[in-house]
Structure 1
Amino acid sequence: MKKLMISPFVYMIFLAFVIFFTGTTHVIAGAALTDFSRNGSRVSLSVVAWSEAAGVANPCYGYSSCYIGPEVSYTTFGIGGLSGSCDSGACIRAEDLPTLADVAERYKKKHPLPYTAVFNIDHLQDTSSCVGMTFIGTPSYGGHAVLLPGSTCTVIPPDNSRCSIDIPPYIEHGTLPVSAINGNTASVTGSAVCNFDGEAVITTSADGGTNSIYLNGVNLTSQIEVNGHNATEGIVFNVLANQPSTLTFTSTLRANGLISSGEYSGTAIVYVNYN
């Protein structure tokens, strides 16, 4: 199943985990942040992850031409025609690619993730409802692209809305004997600050779209929760303008078999959307 996530709020956090077993356990999380703004007809969005199961068909394979890129869905007009997105360089040609895995690979080769696209909204007079990854035969102002199967369509925030996230760069599990690894938890506390009153949604994505990070692909995982909940499907929280909202990230280790001494690592993504 495709796991394509597009975040118009540009603060994305990568949690990279390294675990050492010489009788000790440490989980280290490194964070990378970006910023988001929308002003007038200009919209910015970030493609934060895209993975595909093998064999899923590309819906525009065999077209005489096919363009794939991020586009806005409008309340009245529907999905736009990719003209602004493609004009900005955010699209790829994909009519020769038989599967969506091939599409994702080409897109990420052209635009290494995380990739932030900035382009003009075509139908400013209409209400823009959400943005997602779409395809169309030929980009045009009056055309209608189609949402790619499995792509999210993420709500666009109000004009000039922005948020930021601040969390410690490390999650430390401390020193543990191997027998104490399974079920061990460690947490860090940070905050999100937005410049508006309302609701935001925080979402995590790890391996296979779950909240479990496979550390070096072996029988050891780190399960990530935000404020005590699995955030794979998103957690809604209230924000007050310019007031920090507390976010606690918790890592729980799970051992499923014999774990040898060595260094282990994995990655999860945390991102926030306007709700």
Structure 2
Amino acid sequence: MSAVGLGLERARYETIVYFRQPDTIFFTFLFPVVMLGIFSVAFQGMGNVGAAPDGTGGITQAAYYLPAMIAAGILLSGVQNLAVDIAGEKSDGTLKRLGGTPLPVISYFIGKMGQVLATSVLQIGLLLVVARLAFGVALPASADLWLRFTWIYLLSIVTSAVLGIALSAIPRTGRSATAVIIPIVLILQFISGVYIPFGVLPTWLQNVASVFPLKWIAEGMRSVFLPQSFESREPSGSWQLGGIAIVLSVWLVAGLLASRITFRWIRKDA
């Protein structure tokens, strides 16, 4: 088989293994769906977001939090999942054993990226179904918005996956990977407009969050799923689509360089 063929077969294997791990399924796959349900139910008594003074108009809490949970799911699928997974494979000797096989390095990474893409698409599909059927959220009807969603999603998930590979070098052992990676991911979610509206954060914290990719992923998803009237609620007064593309591209390149420097495959062709 070619390197690409081996990578696709590896992606199938990685996806099967992913869904055989209950803790992984809950904390990376189902977690955004669970959080969407919690926020939608817990805050429904507060009324619609963006409603007029007389209580009319606006959108439901479920509709407001849907783009945030999609952004969180992308981060969990790419950064947290791969960082913890690869760190564990380094620690338990899996990478060393793979290094003694004919499997090309590129096939290994195609497998990882394929698994992240497959599980992320399924996760977002589940989020959209739950939002529509359980909470009556109206999904975008414009082809332009779905085209925008596609490029933001693809750039976001590839960037997150690459950063996950790079971060896998930080934990010293597989056992410590969860303790090292999850706090990083959790802090980013709180300061990037996932759990707390970005506009209510202090300006200095907004500036810090703007350095990292999750803030831009969340803003991009808001530009797709929230009404146009919500654009003025952004601190910048616009969706900043150009900025989203630039910042995520910079992080993608930085992640690729970091992965190339830090990843160790015990074999000469690496």
Fold conserved between structures, TM > 0.5: no
Hey, which of these two has a bigger chunk of strand by percent? 1
Higher helix share: 2
